[in-house]
Amino acid sequence: MANDVAVKASGLTKTYGEGETEVHALIDVSFEIPRGEFVVLQGTSGSGKTTLLNQLGALEAPTSGEVESNGYHLNGLDDDGRTGYRLHSVGFVFQFYNLVPSLTAYENVALIAELTGDDVKDRTEAMLDAVGLADRMNHFPGQMSGGEQQRVSIARGLVKNPPLMLCDEPTGALDTETGIQVLDLLREITDGGDRTIVVVTHNSQISQIANRVIDLKDGAVTDMHINETPLNPQDVAW
Amino acid sequence: MKLLSLKRRRDILRQKWQFVAVIVTVVLGVAMFAGTFNAYLNLGSSLEGTYERLAMADMTVTGADEGFVDVARTTSGVANAIVRRQADVPFEIGEDSLIGRVVGVPVGAQPAINMVDVETGGYLSGGDGLEVMLDTHGASDFGIEVGATLTIAGREATVVAIVVSPEYLWPARDEQSLFTAPKSFAVAFVDEAVLADLEAQTILDQTLVLYEEDADVAAVDATIEGLARSANAGSIQPLANQPSNNAISKEIEGLQTMAVAFPLLFLAAAGMAIYVLITRLVFSQRGVIGTLRSLGISSKRMSRHYRSYGTMVGLIGAGIGVVVGGFIGRGMTALYIQIFGIPDLVAAVHIPTIILALAFGFVAGALASIAPSRTVLRLAPAEAMRGDTPTAGGKRSLFETLIPPLRKAPVRWRMTLRGIGRNKKRSSTMVIGVVLAMTLILATAGMMDSMLTAIDTQFQDVALEDASIIFEVPVTDDVINAVADVSGVEAAEPVIALAATLSKSDSSFSTVMNGYERDTVMHGFPAPLPVSGAFVGHAMRDLLDLEVGDIVRITFPDLETTITTTVEMFLNEPLGTVAYMSTEALTAAIEDANPAITADVLASPAATTAKAIFADGADPGPVLDRVKEVDGVATAVDATKLKESIEDFQAFFYAFIGIMMLFGGAMAFALIFNTISVNVAERSSEFASMRANGLTHRRVAALIAGENIILTAMGIAPGLIVGYLAAQAFLGSLADEQMPLQLTITPFTWIGTIAAMFVVAGLSLIPAVRAIKRINVGEIVRERSV
């Protein structure tokens, strides 16, 4: 894999169940994502986009095919290897934030910071500051809005400084205005850097802010195109 | 509604292991109740049956005036009264000698009261020579069969029958000697006319009184006791105090206590486990509940649906428990009957017990499911269908508030600490589970420790002798010196033992008065025996309302003599509640009260035995053999045999305690396993998210383990306190004057119980850790359940 390629999928297939209940969630999916791009994986419900995201994040193993990500050959990794890959090379952002409710915003971020290096306090505070939550860091998730929780989730993903961020419907549970703020934030963290962001969404508007758009349908890639003039989230007609 | 039943069945199957754990807890509780309570009822019925068939006396009065039997017979509530004779005399059986007991019975026909059950051979026929019927325990000890001969009071006798006597189902010589060493006691039933001719120092006249079936036992006891006192009776022994009956009754009482107290612990634990499980079920099925409510199913029906999980689990557990309990009860009854040699076995299945056991299981399930099922009533369909779970507010843990440095601890530690407070009911359940399990273990282990400590104290600090020696000649200084001179014997002393009734005002207590040398080395006293006055067992302080310095009246029925003396000290001895005086003081007091009873009379072998201590390193077997060869020695009994006899008696009890401890462990496992499983299930999304963020499953498991260990630790202190109190109450219900047990819990038990809780908690974690490992991270992180 060339140095400027962040993620490469080759002949990726994922099948669930067997016999009559067999479902082909991914069928022979292949693509390359260059480093530093904001990529949108889009498709309707059941198109296989979350399954593909899970393959890229080493949350699930493919039935066949290969994934290479930032120097990791995911197929050859055991459970510890995949966990290590996720800890050091991938930041996740989920639709429903998935924060630990018993930890404050600071602690949710610090939980990962503690496992990935020193200067925990500085790194955590800097990250929360970067997502605009410097004054909310001692609040628990239950005391925060959905947008704030999603920003904590982004800070948690970023605190390890991963080369790849995987976001599964990051605005799916948010109102439009808050969604725009979150997309702004995600866009900011790639601009001019090496970090690659893959966003899964069924909202086709989001593709307007991406560098690259991959369309999925029934488990297969139907189109992959480069967006030469990505828009700012505020400029998109939502 | 059939479909709701189908849903319930599938829900249970989906969480089968949690439901199995709860059902097992119910089964344990119900089985224990059904088994032990059935055994208790059966043992009581068996004993009653034997007593009724063999006309066991309700009252035995010794040494009353001649006309007492006629007075007793005509007393209201009395069915019959007879007089018989009894004497303790030397027996020679093979090469063994001992002081046995002969009891007079009519020839050719059973006595009207205290009949015997002929096991082998035939009842006394009045044939040539001295015929005896030997009690089954003695026959078994000595391997005697019908036709064998033995010597009783110097006369050769032929065994014509081996019999079971209701008076000696448990072979106790007297109230204070519930335990006898093998081959140290035997009972022979002989022609009452012959008994009068035997060479015995004292032949007791006993009046046996049998009450009518519907008599008010307490009232008739009181009447007969009053009449017996008026008739100058030496000893008045109601059936409740009869040594054999007393020993067996204590076991039956113990069974009753265990039959009720321990199952309640299990059912409480099962109730909590059901509560946790159904609460989780309702919580996780909010969406389903909302949907079904919106489709028109009433909230009451839904509430009933979730309540039915608890009642079903209770009933299934109770049903299995009753069947298992039936086997346990049958086995326990048979074992007890065998141990006590009760000839009539009643192994009935008591329907009320079964109904009660089923009700216990049902009620435990129904009560536990009320609270969670009521939450269904409060759920608005629209809110429930959104699938939102109530947002946990989140706050710092109490630990962090109390110990500020913890606020700087790694986030993982803080997460563990806060996990404890996230679901207080669930955490409380686990803590209470630990407390209940510790209570069960400490109550039973404490009982065992107390028994073992009592036995050790008795044989290491109180009864210091290595051997008891029984003579066939008056016990003079020469005889004692001859024993002391035996190679391997370090010291020998005479010891007087007289049946005695101590009384003060209207209260009396029948026991044994022992006379030891003032500076005895055979018995451990806290201080040398007083020049005058007596040391008495501590239980007499309450029984007779005594204080140190009080004057107590002591009647010796065998000697027809009464003395008075002062109480100098109360003794806390583990086995028996007896009295002690120095030999000199006792002899002088008796002689003062009755000049006919001189020191020479008291030196008779029926009143005086000897105790001996062996030299360090001496081999007890050969030393005992040499002692037995001394002229005048009837037999010598190894003191350790008595200890072994007591330990044998406890063997069944220890086995029961072992089972209880296993059950306690199983209960703790079931409860902790369920709590942890629910914890993992409720937080699967949170754990999946952590796994997605790069935490290994081991690290996630460590979080749960940490919570688990802290919750277990939180249960330890209250568990130790409640367990100690329960052990004290349990022991108090079993202790009596014969065994005035004091609670002792050894450090090993304390530490072992604590360690067992952590081991059980650790074992309970294994399935949880596997569940965490199996978490489908990809699938769960997509769902909204944090």
Distance of alpha carbon B516 from alpha carbon B544, whole angstroms: 23
Asked if pLDDT for residue B403 goes beyond 80, the answer is yes
> What are the pLDDT digits (tens) for B352-393?
888 988 998 899 899 999 988 888 887 777 666 655 554 556
Q: How many CB pairs under 8 A join A and B?
A: 112
Alpha carbon B442 to its chain's center = 14
pLDDT at site B106: 95
Asked if pLDDT for residue B781 goes beyond 70, the answer is no
Chain A positions touching B411 (Cβ under 8 A) are: 103, 107, 110-111, 114
What is the mean pLDDT of the segment spanning B133-144? 92
Distance from CA of B718 to the nearest CA of A (A): 27
pTM listed for this prediction: 0.74
pLDDT at site B782: 56
Whether B694 contacts chain A with CB within 8 A: yes
Chain A positions touching B393 (Cβ under 8 A) are: 140, 142-143
Chain B positions touching A87 (Cβ under 8 A) are: 693-695
**Which of B394, B421, B776 shows the shortest C-beta gap to A140?**
B394
Distance of alpha carbon A144 from alpha carbon B595, whole angstroms: 101
Q: To the nearest whole number, what is the mean pLDDT of chain A?
A: 89
Whether A95 contacts chain B with CB within 8 A: yes
**Which of A92, A98, A143 shows the shortest C-beta gap to B686?**
A98
pLDDT at site B786: 35
265-304 in B: which are within 8 Å (CB) of A? none
**Residues near B523 by Cβ (< 8 Å), separated by ≥ 6?**
B462, B463, B464, B465, B514, B516, B580, B611
Local confidence band at B200 (pLDDT 50, 70, 90 cut-offs): low
> From the candidates B411, B427, B780, which should be mutated to test the interface with A, based on the most A CB atoms within 10 A?
B411
Residue A39 lies in domain = 5-98+163-235
pLDDT at site B606: 78
Whether A17 contacts chain B with CB within 8 A: no
Instruction: Look at A156 and B422 and tell me if their CB atoms are within 8 Å.
Output: no
Decide: B694 and B785 in contact? Cβ < 8 Å. no
Whether A118 contacts chain B with CB within 8 A: no
Instruction: Look at A86 and B694 and tell me if their CB atoms are within 8 Å.
Output: yes
Domain membership flag for residue A121: no
Q: Which two tokens stand for residue B263?
A: 């199952």
Alpha carbon B480 to its chain's center = 40
**Which of B415, B694, B777 shows the shortest C-beta gap to A103?**
B415
**Which of A54, A111, A142 shows the shortest C-beta gap to B778?**
A54
Distance from CA of A62 to the nearest CA of B (A): 12
Whether B67 contacts chain A with CB within 8 A: no
Q: To the nearest whole number, what is the mean pLDDT of chain B?
A: 87
Local confidence band at B784 (pLDDT 50, 70, 90 cut-offs): very low
Distance from CA of B786 to the nearest CA of A (A): 6
H-helix segments, B285-350 = 286-294, 299-340
Chain B positions touching A116 (Cβ under 8 A) are: 694
Distance of alpha carbon A134 from alpha carbon A125, whole angstroms: 7
Q: Among A205, A223, A91, which residue's Cα sits nearest to residue A213?
A: A223
Instruction: Look at A142 and B422 and tell me if their CB atoms are within 8 Å.
Output: no
In Å, the largest CA–CA distance within chain A is 55
pLDDT at site A13: 95
pLDDT at site B753: 92
Instruction: Look at B786 and A107 and tell me if their CB atoms are within 8 Å.
Output: no
What is the mean pLDDT of the segment spanning B680-684? 80
pLDDT at site B734: 74
Local confidence band at B181 (pLDDT 50, 70, 90 cut-offs): confident
Domain membership flag for residue A150: no
Based on the number of CB atoms within 10 Å of its own CB, is A236 exposed (0-12), middle (13-18) or buried (19 or more)?
A: middle
**Residues near B379 by Cβ (< 8 Å), separated by ≥ 6?**
B286, B289, B290, B293, B299
Chain A positions touching B395 (Cβ under 8 A) are: 140
Chain A positions touching B690 (Cβ under 8 A) are: 100, 111
pLDDT at site B785: 36
At residue B156, the 3 state secondary structure works out as: strand
Instruction: Look at B392 and A142 and tell me if their CB atoms are within 8 Å.
Output: yes
pLDDT at site A2: 58
Instruction: Look at B694 and A83 and tell me if their CB atoms are within 8 Å.
Output: yes
Instruction: Look at A102 and B391 and tell me if their CB atoms are within 8 Å.
Output: no
Q: Among B37, B26, B664, which residue's Cα sits nearest to residue B362?
A: B26
Asked if pLDDT for residue B48 goes beyond 70, the answer is yes
Of chain B, the percentage scoring pLDDT greater than 70 comes to 96
pLDDT at site B289: 84
pLDDT at site A3: 63
Chain A positions touching B776 (Cβ under 8 A) are: 60
> What are the pLDDT digits (tens) for B585-605?
999 999 999 998 888 888 988
Chain B positions touching A52 (Cβ under 8 A) are: none
Instruction: Look at A88 and B694 and tell me if their CB atoms are within 8 Å.
Output: yes
3 state SS for A150-210: HHHHHHHHHCCCCCEEEEECCCCCCCHHHHHHHHHHHHHCCCCCCCEEEEEECCHHHHHHC
Whether A80 contacts chain B with CB within 8 A: yes
27-66 in A: which are within 8 Å (CB) of B? 50-51, 54, 57, 59-60
Domain membership flag for residue A141: no
Of chain B, the percentage scoring pLDDT greater than 90 comes to 38
pLDDT at site B390: 46
Whether A92 contacts chain B with CB within 8 A: yes
Asked if pLDDT for residue B43 goes beyond 80, the answer is yes
In this structure, the strands spanning A90-93 and A164-168 are: parallel
What is the mean pLDDT of the segment spanning B721-729? 93
Whether B387 contacts chain A with CB within 8 A: no
Q: Which two tokens stand for residue B180?
A: 């006898």
Whether A238 contacts chain B with CB within 8 A: no
User: Residue B151 to residues B93, B101, B165, B308, B552: CA-CA distances in angstroms?
Assistant: 7, 12, 21, 72, 40
Phi and psi for B281 in degrees, rounded to 5?
-60, -50
Distance of alpha carbon B190 from alpha carbon B175, whole angstroms: 23
Instruction: Look at B693 and A92 and tell me if their CB atoms are within 8 Å.
Output: yes
Chain B positions touching A94 (Cβ under 8 A) are: 689, 692, 781-782
Q: How many domains are contained in chain A?
A: 1
For residue A90, the chain B residue with the least C-alpha distance is B693
Asked if pLDDT for residue B234 goes beyond 90, the answer is no
Domain membership flag for residue A180: yes
Whether A226 contacts chain B with CB within 8 A: no
Least confident piece of the model among A72-76, B112-116, B470-474, B626-630: B470-474
Chain A positions touching B778 (Cβ under 8 A) are: 50-51, 54, 57, 59-60
Domain membership flag for residue A146: no
**Which of A99, A107, A140 shows the shortest C-beta gap to B393?**
A140
Of chain A, the percentage scoring pLDDT greater than 70 comes to 98
Distance of alpha carbon B695 from alpha carbon B701, whole angstroms: 10
pLDDT at site B534: 95
**Residues near A191 by Cβ (< 8 Å), separated by ≥ 6?**
none
Q: Among B114, B110, B169, B175, which residue's Cα sits nearest to residue B137?
A: B169
Chain B positions touching A72 (Cβ under 8 A) are: none
Higher-confidence residue of B78 and B256: namely B78
Amino acid occupying residue A197: I
Whether A140 contacts chain B with CB within 8 A: yes
Domain membership flag for residue A136: no
Asked if pLDDT for residue B402 goes beyond 50, the answer is yes
Whether B412 contacts chain A with CB within 8 A: yes
pLDDT at site A18: 83
> What are the pLDDT digits (tens) for B268-314?
888 888 888 888 888 888 878 877 776 777 888 888 999 999 999 99
What is the mean pLDDT of the segment spanning B166-171? 92
171-200 in A: which are within 8 Å (CB) of B? 173
> What are the pLDDT digits (tens) for A82-119?
888 998 999 988 888 888 888 899 999 998 898 888 89
What is the mean pLDDT of the segment spanning B149-153? 90
Whether A23 contacts chain B with CB within 8 A: no
Local confidence band at B322 (pLDDT 50, 70, 90 cut-offs): very high
Asked if pLDDT for residue B653 goes beyond 80, the answer is no
CATH code of A181's domain: 3.40.50.300
H-helix segments, chain A = 49-56, 79-89, 105-113, 120-130, 146-158, 176-188
Asked if pLDDT for residue B267 goes beyond 50, the answer is yes
Asked if pLDDT for residue B246 goes beyond 90, the answer is no
Q: Among A153, A36, A160, which residue's Cα sits nearest to residue A88?
A: A160
671-690 in B: which are within 8 Å (CB) of A? 685-686, 688-690
Chain A positions touching B693 (Cβ under 8 A) are: 86-87, 91-92, 112, 156-157
Domain membership flag for residue A135: no
> What are the pLDDT digits (tens) for B496-545?
999 898 998 878 888 899 999 999 999 999 999 999 999 999 889 888 99
Whether B13 contacts chain A with CB within 8 A: no
ipTM confidence: 0.80
pLDDT at site A135: 93
